[in-house]
Structure 1
Amino acid sequence: MAVSVIATVLNEVDEIPNLVASLSDQTLIAAEVVIVDGGSTDGTWEWLLNARSQYPALLPIRDESCNLKQSPGPIARGRNVAIAAASSDIIACADAGCTYRPDWLANLTASILSGVAEYALGGSCIDPASPTVWDIASAPFFGVKLNPNEPTKSCTARSMAFRKELWQRVGGFPETVLLGEDTLFDAKVRKLVTPAFAQRAKAFYRPRHALRSALRQLASYAVADGALGIRPARLFRNLARCVVEVLALIALRWTPIPLLCILVLENYFAFHFDWRSLQRASFRIWAARFIFSLLVPWVVSWNQIKGGITKANQPNRQNA
């Protein structure tokens, strides 16, 4: 059975060459690589047109309805347009800002091609080639691994595959939301089938974060969660952390013990996800992870409540 790879882009001229090159260098050759451009103005579309001579499987589509000016959910719409145009029975989703190892597509779709599953998730990890300090510091709070060989059960459309018929059954990616569309799609699919978690099928993600951009992304995701009314348990956990931290500071008037206990707990929250992967990291990275972890409950709580009140997603950087 043939496999089509799809992605949606907007103003990604610096990222698109690496994405297309890695998707075209797979051991399992895709029938086509369908990339929907939502109306780029930075040269992305022109690069895609010129690249067709080098990459015969590349199928670029320009659809300006896949833009925040035309759709409340341009990323989801771009994926739906690409999937509808794909000719294969099996669809693999990729994403700009990522590259993929040559065995990615084969590993991601193996369970579907063998008939074991209809839906597979590969997860994502920080590209080890050129991470920033804040890429590493923020990674686990975005469900991103540091080690490509770590198991993952997170959902991300950076590395996701399914039968096209399954996509049709759930009504595609929801085009009413800007962020969190893959989470909602995953929730709908899991009501019908159990996902297979593919090993060695992670997207190599290059966010290139500074502290400010990492916090901005965290805030955007929290606003989206609030607007969609999802992950209330996460909001409760982060609110509880905020309240306990404030009480510990107040208690300093009498005793430092509560604050010391909080610092021990905060160390656990900061490093329990992937401390083994950080064993050889510099002190600067350890300090950045701890600082970012301290900020997480405050950023998440404020912005998830804000999203729940306003019911509005924040625009992404391309549409800002």
Structure 2
Amino acid sequence: MNKVPQEKVFHQPLGGNQMPRFGGHASMMRLPTRTSAAGLDAAFVGVPFDIGTSNRSGTRFGPRQIRAESCLIRPYNMATRAAPFDSLSVADIGDVAINTFNLEKSVAIVEAAYDEILSHNCIPLTMGGDHTIALPILRALKKKYGPVGMVHVDAHADVNDTMFGEKIAHGTPFRRAVEEGLLDGKRVAQIGLRATGYSAEDFDWPRSQGFRVVQAEECWYKSLAPLMAEIREQLGKGPVYLSFDIDGLDPSSAPGTGTPEVGGLTTIQGLEIIRGCRGLDLVGCDLVEVSPPYDPSGNTSLLAANLLYEMLCVLPGVKYRA
């Protein structure tokens, strides 16, 4: 007996005239909440994790605060004319229940959770959490897509071999990803890298793997739209993961993070990078390293929420109004 296909439901964020923006439930953009990614084209998911952090902790509170600050975001993108909620079925599927006392067990829990999300052909939009979480997400993506390309925005390359003797931490995920064949090195671009290091290898090692490394100084005083045109050409067709560490932006705009570095990207350049990913086959995105204890004004979380919304707007299948 043939099953009748269910009609897709296009969930809409709760509007400000339906419930004051300071009220209502605290989901991403006040979207409906679901316990599963079944039937969704894209899902916001939190990973409240900071046991891989080396300096200032607090990113375990990131997903909750990003959701709280997202209440101001409206459904239509006035700049790009993207109408994501008319194009895709989207909901907030809550947080991954990590083991807060055990990093390795938590990494396995995150990987299993993303296996489940991806089994529904749903694109995850992740609210971190520290950058350790990119490793289990990439492991899950490889099982579905094979090695992926990546756009990585960050002050740091995150390719340390070890941190305090540990192989898995927030400064090591992309070294492990290369070793495990999770990334297609010629289809990786790292943008915003800067500040001080321990040796030239900090940035030269990813270059030796085929990554395009764009240091922050190359971005000063200019639009990044031309750069993103080059990166789209480099990455070409095939699955791409977008990983955005909030410390890629200057701490004057995003102070609420664990490892701030001066001389970073502007908020406008952050928007240009994400909007410049339109046309890529994005199979997942993350926004990581928001630490609310160091964000008393809420501006870092507000910025993170808007960047996640912009990621939603450039996913495959999003329609744009003429």
Q: TM-score scaled by structure 2? A: 0.29
* Higher normalized helix content (fraction of residues): 1
* Structure whose alpha-carbon radius of gyration is higher: 1
